[in-house]
Structure 1
């Protein structure tokens, strides 16, 4: 009998979603009976003298139909079977019960990159052709198994193996369906990228929304900062004095603006004065005002102080710890009596202001050392608000970055985005300069970047190029451990040049030891104005330290 005659009664058809997609010239009555007798999950069954083998493929269920009288071990892989299996878009392999690969269709050879027919699965693993064997797992478990498998070409595949048993229940074959996951992995990466972009867009929209509502850079996402904001909103409606503490750059002025904006004084002005930025002899006249002739150079008509000008509104005294003791007594009178007295006048002037003070210093310790009035400290500290440093509220970092990106775009008409890996670097950095340092960093990398997206390399490069900023340490042992002895430099040149170099070095070291120019000048025994002129002369930059 010829091969054609032997296999003339073999047929196949593919069913997907209960619809016959492809079929051979099988009789309709037989096809309908096969479909009627098929139950989902069954791999082999018989209908009216025909043996039916079902394979699950991506194109649907493939039904291979063959007369029972023709079914034998030798005759399993006949020409029609090979044609059918080669027409499937998934890879198909058939192994015997010992793990020998009897058949591998063309698609499987193409996606795996190697012809494995005739090889044993164990040998393929030993030779490094594939990372694992689905056939051996099915042979061991005698159950359906699905794994992710990597082959020698580096591609990753989803492989499902099913056992086929003979009439005695013994394992006879293992059929494995291989699907190339490379494209799926690429799509997965694309989806993740789109998710990151979507999150960035949401953050940017949120930042733009915040920017429309307020020009403040106050961002509260972390629980620590949310607690601060909740406390601020509670105290804003009353007129009590507030003392804001926290490291330099954490956003004390932004908290002050938030208090003022939500107080009954919101439609009045808020005036800010930095107690460390104004020389001592001018600070008094700026705060309390003066009468004509009060001192040499005083304006003819006199001048109202900030407390008078801000009457009805809010006065923010930043760096209150730098206020001289003499002026502390006068400030205490303002708080207690709600009146001021101009320089050169004995007449008190009633005022109505709310005072908010801020400091990055430990005022309680200053009281113990006699550098700050105890009565003023308790009068200011009615409602204390402590702002945590940025390294203790990392959840706020990325929202702050997106806010600053929006600010840069509005200010400079420059659109920049930051890739996720760069965001992680920024989020993990300690930011000793807190929000102020972060704002400056974002603005700098946006202006210096030559491409729309800021990469991790750009961010790391900028962080590495920054001068190291250290925080003040309270533990003397730790200070001694990290500090290196300062070696006096060897100066050269003329006597005048050497003296100038030595003077520059002394000023530089002194500025690094004291938090304000006033204290540095006091330690050097010179006027503040003299020290400022020398700083300008030597082109020095004051190095600021932060308390941990």
Structure 2
């Protein structure tokens, strides 16, 4: 600010020969505290202050004041300010010695006055403004700034210092630096006056680097300042940069070692990278191609076109020397902008492509073959039409199986061992919409209890000692999209029953040792030869799981209850056995058939097959029919018992007939209501339905 902007234009002007009284009157008229004494040309030659006039007039009487002149009391040694002088220049003078300053223009004519109080107020306000600006600047810088006075007490502590140290400015101001942050080195700088640059220092977990410098006023040390920066983040960035450099070096080495030719260009088509394989193909040193335009290095190239247009060109034919090469050109896009392109020689000659295509065709054929073999391995062999038997019971079960196959509901197949439960399960699968999917079976009784869960649901890598690397899928995963057959479900441990129930309810599994659930789309068919209802009463089988499984029950009657199917089964089984046996049997003689029909077959169809296979192997080469001598003794004993009178088979028939009559009477009494009929008989409703199915009662 200039003096003219701060001065008061109110100035009294007196001549040196004026009396003190006249001077006092002139100052009073201007209400001024002083008057400028000017010569005849109006140039200032002295200064008279109001206090001087008062002192002189007090020393004389009034008449004396009228006689004394201004030049007798005026001050010739004074500080005259110029209008165009900057206020800051006053700091070069001892302005505090004067309480009032005359202000003159360039011709030294008085034009105003400036009071010391006005000057001090301006300088104070200006100093506060500058201090505020300095504080704002210090608080806006990224680096921390801490300054101390000559006593080592903190007088500057900016926002960045607060952030880095975690200390509040209010808590640290005017406290000793060593009390707040020990070992900062600022006390040492105060003592030595020597700056300390780029010194590492720790504040808590932050690693900082600091510059410490003394604050000098003239040659005297009046304080010290430390400017520091948290380099923890910088070290992280530096480490990341090193990783990027290492990755870049690795990528360059990988590209250089590739057998295929690789070239990379910028958006203007200039080569930034080319591996040696491409260089050898072109007959040049790949390093010398860097920086050259791609069109000057590679014949018939379109790399620069792709780099400009951003459209990929895949599997294109390009003439390179004498070869019709197959190449691919892909644009490099960064933040939505094409910044270059990468080219790759897929095949140096079309003959190589044809050779690969031929090999691929062979591999595809092999893949299809193994895929078909795998499908056969995981697909059911039997259909409903292949189920042997024409009895009313079997025909009824076939119709139930076809109806069950249309839906997705769980099927529970009940029956004695050897009755053909798995055959029905496969038939249902092959008649269902899932027939193209896998048919996976597992015998719940054959797998040890500690392995059953991993067999059913699989396991992840590291789930247990000896677990296969990469883990292993379970039967449910393998059956996804198809059917899983849980044979001997009645032998499943109770703990596993709870887990199976959750799978049936949620339709998702979790591998052993796994952390995430897998959704599955599997139809469940279960089978057992055990009485599940009795097991429920004994606490050996979960009732809720039974209800979940027993949605569509199928009870396969034993062979002794459908003896009319035995001749057809014998014919079917003999044809099957003859394919592998040394002898060919055309059939069973009447005598042998009589024994077979009268035997109870506790092992059912499986036992019948074993007996027939034994008989075929005992036949002589010239024999074509199975005769009684080929049958085991147990089959003959059964007939002998029956010839003596009422045997076990007859007693069984009598029990079945009595049971059938009781059911019919109960239905008649209940008016056809099956639930009431079951209550009248005192049996469970599901058991009642099984007996209805057994006796083919509508």
Please give the range of the TM-score, normalised by the shorter of the 2 chains: 0.3 to 0.5
Return the TM-score normalized by structure 1: 0.45
Q: Highest relative contact order (Cα 8 Å, sep 6+), 1 or 2? A: 1
Return the TM-score normalized by structure 2: 0.36
